[in-house]
Amino acid sequence: MKQLITLMVCSLILACQPQQQKEVVTVPDNPFFNTFNEEIDFGSIEANHVTEATTYIQEQTDAAIAKVIDIEEEDRTFDNTMLALDDLHANLDGIASAIYLMSYTHPDSVIRSNALKSNTILSQYTNKVELNEDLYKAVKSFSKSKKAEKLTGYKAKYLKETVEEFERSGFGLSKEDREVLKGINDQISEIGDKFSQNIASYKDFLIVSESDIEGLPEDYKESRKQKDGTYKVDLSYPSYRPFMKYCKSEKARKELYLKYMNRAYPDNIEVLQQLLQKRKEMAELLGYNSYASYVLEDRMAKNPESVWAFEGKLMEDLKSKEISDYQELLDIKKSKTGKSDVINSWESSFYFDKLLKEKYQLDGEEVKQYFSLDDVINGLFTITQTIFDLEYREVESPSVWQKDVRMFEVIKDGKLKGRFYLDLFPRENKYNHAACFGIKSGKMTTRGYQIPTASLVCNFPEPTADKPSLMPHSQVETFFHEFGHVLHQMVTTADLYSQSGTSVSRDFVEAPSQIFENWAWNYEALKLFAKHYETREVIPEALFNKMLAAKNVGSAIAASHQVFFGTYDMTLHDKYDPNGEESTTDVLKRVQEETTISPYVEGTHFQTSFGHLNGYGASYYGYLWSKVYAQDMFSVFEQNGVLDKKTGKRYRDIILASGSSKEEIELVKEFLGREPNNDAFLRELGL
C-alpha cells in the first residue's frame, strides 16, 4: 500500500496476462480522469475538478473494495482478490498523486488550496482503506488457501507483504483499538500536511544595499534589484546558496542564515511536537518500542539497532578527515582575518569557496559558464538515451499547469514507455526543493501496460536578458540525481503497480538516483555537453581536473552533516519523549554537537523546515545507506565504461525495471555478480 511524494515504480511481463476488473466509468469533463494511457489535461484543471475528483475516487474505490469483499471464500483467486486490490490502489493513487503535484506546483491559489485539502482527505481515506477489516479478512482468507500456497515469485511476495502491511496497520488489535488507531493516523496525516505546507508557504527575505551584496555575480544581482537600488534576496535555494558562498558581508550572510534556519518558525515547533507525539502514540498502540522500530521493520535495515550501528561506524570513519577538513577552513579564514578560533555556520560556504579558489584554483563562477541548463538537459538526455537504449521526444504545446513546464515521451523499441514533465524554475508558492513527483505508475492491464508518468520539480536559476540559466555544478548533480528517480519510474516492467518503479524499500529508493550523480563527475560524460555558453568550448580537462581534485575538499564535513540529519531524525523517533520536558531544539543542539564539528547557532530552529521529518520520518539515514549500494553498483560502470550500453542495459533491466518484484538486496547481488561492500562508497568520499 503505497504512499506518494517526491518520490515516487518490476519483473518481466508474463506471457499469460491476468484478468482484470472491468474498466471503470470516468467522470465526464474532469481532467484527472483521463482515458487509458492518455496524458492528463493539466491546463484545463479548475478548483472544482479537484474537489469532484476527490469525492469520485473515494466512491469508485469503495465500490471496488465491496466487489473484492463480496467474493465467496472458495471462489477467491489471485486475480479477483490480490490483483483487484492492486488495481484499486493504482486507481486511487493515480488521482491522489496528480492532486498532490498540483498542491505544490499549481500557480492558482484556489486550486492549490483545494488540492492541499484533498491531500489530507485522501490520506485519511487511505488510512481508512488500510484499516478495512473486511478487506483484510478477504486477503487473509485467500492467503490460507491452497491456491495461495502455489503462488511463486512476485505474486507470492505481494501476498505476503500485503498481509504483513495489514497487520502492521492494526489488525492484531481489537476493533475498538483499531478505531483509535484510525483516528491517530488521520491526525498524523493532517498534522504532516500542515508541517509541509507551513514550509512551502513560508515567505521571508533580506533587503540589502549595494555594499552588502558585494561579491555576488552580476546576473544574480540583476535579477534581484529593486527600483530603489536595494536588493531583495529570498530564501529559495537559487538565492540562498550563492549568497552564502560569495557575499563579502559577514553581517549580511549571518542575517540571511538566521532567516533561512528559522523557516516555518515558530509555527512548526508545535506542529512537529504534535507529529512526534502522535507517531509515538501510534507505535505504542501497535506494540512497538518506538516509531522507528515500526518504520524500519519492513526496510532493508530491519531495526533501529542496525541504523544506529551504521551511523555510529560512519561517524568514526569520518572523524579524522572531518578534523583535517575543518582545519583547512580555519587556515583560510586566518589568512583573511587573522582569526582562527571557529568557523561559524554562515562562514563555511564563503571560506570553502575561498579555499577552492586559492588552494585548489577552482572558481565556481568559472565552472558555471560551462553548464547552461539547456546544455545540461541535452547532455543528460544523450547519456541516458545512449546507455539505457531509450529515446525522448518533446511534446509540442502540451497541456501543463504552468506555461514553462515541458513534457517528454519516453520511447523504447519504437513503443511509448512513459511520460515525464520538467518544471524547472522557482516561483511563488511552488515546492522549493528538487524532487520527482510520481503521477501514474507502471502496471500490466488487460488493455496493455499502463504508461508511467512523473514530473521533475526543481528550482534552477532562471535565464536573464543576456544570459541563459547557468548552473553551479552542485545543481548539475542534483538534476542528474532527480532524473535517476524519473528513469526508475519510466523503465519499469513490473506487472503490479505496488511493485513498480520507485515502489522499493525507502532505504534503497535513493540508490538509483545517487548512482546517477557519478556521470556528472566523469570527463567522458561531461565532454558530451559541458560547453562554454558563449564560446562553445568544451570544458577544459585541466579545469575538470581541478574540480576533481577539489571534489573531496570538505567531503567529511558534508558527510558528517548527513550523519547529523539522520541521527537527529532517528533520535526524535527512537530515543526522544515528545511528552517530556526536553524540546526538539534541545535535541537539535545536543545531536549537532555530538555528530559534527560545526557548533549549534543559538536562536536557530532547523527542524521547523526539515521537510524530511514528514515524508521521511525515521528514514533519513536511507540517503547514506542507499549510497553505499549506489557507489558499489557504479563501480561496475567504472570497470566497463560509463557509456557502456551492455552494462547500462543490465542495470536498466535488473535494477530499474524490477522495482520491488524481488528483494532489493538480491537485485543488487545479481547486478554486481557478488556480495555488496562499502569500498567504493568510502573511496568516493576520499577516505
Residues annotated catalytic, as ranges: 482
Provide CB contacts within 8 A for 277, sequence distance 6+. Answer: 578, 579
C-alpha cell at 272: 512537529
Report the length, in residues, of the chain: 687
List Cα–Cα distances, 211 to 222, 229, 345, 466, in angstroms.
15, 11, 22, 24
Secondary-structure breakdown of the chain: helix, strand, coil percentages, each rounded to the nearest 5: 55, 5, 35
Q: Are 67 and 84 in contact (CB under 8 A)?
A: yes
Rounded CA separation 544/538 (Å)? 10
Distance from C-alpha of 97 to C-alpha of 438, rounded to nearest angstrom = 6
Letter for the amino acid at 155? K
What does the radius of gyration of the chain's CA atoms come to, in whole angstroms? 25
What's the rounded Cα separation, in Å, for the pair 363 and 41? 44
| Helix or strand run (H / E) with residue 73 | none
**Distance (Å, whole) CA 13 – CA 359:** 55
Cell of 258: 538566521
Q: What is the dihedral of CA 43, 49, 55, 58, to 10 degrees?
A: -10
The dihedral formed by the CA atoms of 531, 533, 534 and 538, expressed in degrees to the nearest 10:
-10
3-state DSSP assignment of residue 457: strand
Question: How far is it, in rounded angstroms, from Cα 94 to Cα 489?
Answer: 14
For residue 663, give the DSSP letter.
-
Distance of CA 303 to the CA centre of its chain: 22
Distance CA 420, CA 488 (A): 12
Cα–Cα distance for residue pair 167/146, rounded to 1 Å: 21
Nearest to 457 by CA among 429, 493, 497: 429
- Tell me: cis bond preceding 266? Omega within 30 of 0 counts: yes
Which residue's C-alpha cell is 537485485?
A: 667
3-state per-residue secondary structure call for 473-503 = HHHHHHHHHHHHHHHHHHCCCCCCHHHCCCC
CA of residue 283 relative to chain centroid, distance:
24
Task: Give the closest residue to 41 by CA, choosing from 375, 329, 293, 397.
Answer: 397
Three-state DSSP string of 582-625 = CCHHHHHHHHHHHHCCCCCCCCCCHHHHCCHHHHCCCCCCHHHH
Q: Describe the crossing of helices 304-337 and 348-358 by its angle, rounded to 10 degrees.
A: 70
Strand, helix or coil at 229? coil
DSSP structural state of residue 642: T
Going by DSSP bridges, is the β-strand pair 448-450/453-457 parallel, antiparallel, or unpaired? unpaired
Could you identify the residue written with the cell 558527510?
A: 559
* CA distance linking residue 642 with residue 687, whole number of Å: 23
Q: How far apart are the first and last CA of the chain?
A: 40
Distance CA 161, CA 227 (A): 60
